[in-house]
Chain A
Amino acid sequence: MGNEECRKTGEFCLDPRTVYLAPDFVEACVQNNRLFVKGNEAVAMAALEAGCRYYFGYPITPQSDIPEFLSRELPKLDGEFIQAESEVASINMLLGASATGVRAMTSSSSPGISLKQEGISYMAGSELPGVIVNISRSGPGLGGIDASQADYFQSVKGGGHGGYRIVVLAPASVQEMYDLTMLAFDLADLYRMPAMVLADSVIGQMKEAVVPHPRPAVDLPAKEWAVQGKGGGEQRIVKSLYLGDGELEAHNWKLYAKYEQLRGKEVRWEEFLADDADLVVTAFGSVSRIAKTAIMQAREEGLKVGLLRPITLFPFPAQAYARITGRCKKVLDIELNTGQMIEDVRLSVTKDTEVFFYGRPPGAGSLPTPEELLEQIRKHY
């Protein structure tokens, strides 16, 4: 069945349980309706199920499983895979493909994402959808390949020039790598803007069980702006240049209105044991998994601790913080960096809330243990 029809019927177009894996393995998986795959593979499977048939990228650890998977599968689906000459080229290939109205994606890791920023800014300015996956690594500079959340600012504050935002989704499991990749394509199309999946090697390289699902039946607007050759119709132009009096200002307000709409309608977060908590830990992505273990250990000690985990980093779930800190006055923010999301946390909590921070800037051996985080919980409880 074609991908567009699947969107309407809610059926699988490419059920990963039968399409990609070795037969004996599939049987074992299908019995409990689950797959056991790497986070990066889940991204690739979800992208294909979401109807993405165009991939442009450049090799970089720890995301290369994505292009490797897609270089194998896309040709079978009459799709296009290009290993570009650079991340600069690949983001611009994505720009070109997206401009024609197809679903397309790129993936990279931090240094490569830096190179893509100009293109992302152009896509935001030209109101082009497109999915960018950042399996981020440590920095600055060449840094290392360790799990890192040091690209929070770059991702959510508009990493390129000109004052724009993109959708940023932060999966904390392999299941969410699948779910949020699919969501990224829908949000990108709905709001006509780039969407990023931001994870790290912990989530990208880890294998976990995934229940795959077909593309949700989201109502998407027709891409009446896409350039496809006039074909007897009106001329279409995809551009970010606005030189007329007042044009660019109006364009910026139009983009801003979309960001406001996202803040109202698309925030997603998870609360875990937060209702009665006296201390709420907040963390996103990989480190939130470690925090969860520490929280359960704290509960065993009788400490009322909960978790607030942003799933959308942009739009940031400010409402959730405001509500929870209406009652609970202590928040412990944990990040794999020296403190980035904490700025948004501080802006979102109620005035009389104390916000503590525990950070481990990324590098070999710097992933915190649950015991280490439990220590921090005890300290601030």
Chain B
Amino acid sequence: MQQVFHRPVSLKDVQTHFCPGCHHGTIHRLVAEAMDHFELQQRTIGVASVGCSVFLYAYFDVDVVEAPHGRASAVATGVKRARPDSFVFTYQGDGDLAAIGTAEIIHAANRGEDITVVFVNNTTYGMTGGQMAPTTLVGQKTSTSPYGRQREKDGAPIRMAELLAQLEGVAYSCRVAVDSPKNLMVAERQIKTAFRYQVEGKGFSFVEVLSSCPTNWGMDPIKANERVGAEMIPYFPLGVFKNVGNL
């Protein structure tokens, strides 16, 4: 008998703390699969951010540094410059990367640091209880936008993958989702492409993954999954915004 499905070796055999229906777990798996695909486990240094993914080291069986909230891409810069032979990735939420860490991500990208950034956009601050994020959709109610996000006062949600694609230093930038088998397969492929950029030393790669947060959206897992396609994708289109090497 042939085993056709197994846990990626880069992922530990443990239960996660993620809420039921949360996409973080799925995204962890895709990242680990890409790591296995390129046989990176032994030379990977992951940089964890502050958010629901703070326990990166508990799930990935790779060396991990924990960064202060928002600073993962600066920490990753220091790691990669000191250990250019290692594979360095950050895993950051939308509050972490697109609010408090905006300066760090833009400048790491602009310098063209040879790192890979996995950006999990769930339109909210998951860990702190569902406050408004820079990616919260207009009209979306959160615990700090109880009347819904107002474009006039709060601005419009930021499209990070498109924004970063503008920078000369960025080699690869895309947005994927994991809400359907089809999207999942594309996500798997594009995360691998992002990894390939660093594996081949071809520059900064960025993958934005649309993700669910059933708990803070006040939805059951199925509804939350449906919201990704119904509300998020229309505003945050999936696609590749930059691919300088056509990898």
Interface, chain A (partner B; CB < 8 A):
54, 56, 80, 82, 84-86, 88-90, 92-102, 104, 118-119, 122, 126, 227-232, 235-241
Contact = CB atoms under 8 A, between A and B. Distances in A.
Contacts of B111: 82
Interface stretch (B58-66, B155-163, B193-201): B58-66
B54 interface: yes
Interface string B54-90: 1001000111111110010011111111110111000
A82 B107 CA distance: 11
Nearest to A56: B78
B78 A92 contact: yes
A119 B81 CA distance: 18
A232 B45 contact: no
B150 interface: no
Interface in B103-160: 103-104, 106-107, 111
A54 B64 contact: no
Given A95-B78, A104-B82, A230-B41, A85 B103 contact: yes
Given A89-B103, A99-B78, A237-B57, 4 more contacts: A92-B78, A93-B78, A96-B78, A229-B87
B42 A92 contact: no
Size band of the interface chain B makes with A? 35 or more
23 contacts: A54-B78, A88-B74, A89-B74, A90-B74, A92-B104, A93-B77, A95-B65, A95-B75, A95-B78, A96-B47, A96-B82, A99-B75, A100-B83, A126-B65, A126-B66, A227-B79, A229-B45, A230-B62, A235-B61, A236-B64, A239-B57, A240-B66, A241-B66
Contacts of B43: 229-231
A89 B62 contact: no
B75 A96 contact: yes
A54 B82 contact: yes
Contacts of B44: 229-230
Nearest to B77: A93
A82 B77 contact: yes
A100 B57 contact: no
Nearest 3 pairs between A and B by C-beta? A96-B78, A93-B78, A229-B43
A96 B81 CA distance: 9
Which of A54, A85, A89, A102 gathers the greatest number of chain B CB atoms within 10 Å? A89
Interface string B153-175: 00000000000000000000000
A82 B81 contact: yes
A94 B63 contact: no
Contacts of A119: 68, 71
Interface string B91-107: 00000000000011011
Contacts of A80: 81-82
Nearest to B85: A229
Nearest to A96: B78
A100 B75 CA distance: 11
Nearest to B106: A85
A100 B83 CA distance: 7
Contacts of B85: 229
Contacts of A104: 78, 82
B110 to A, nearest CB: 9
A96 B79 contact: yes
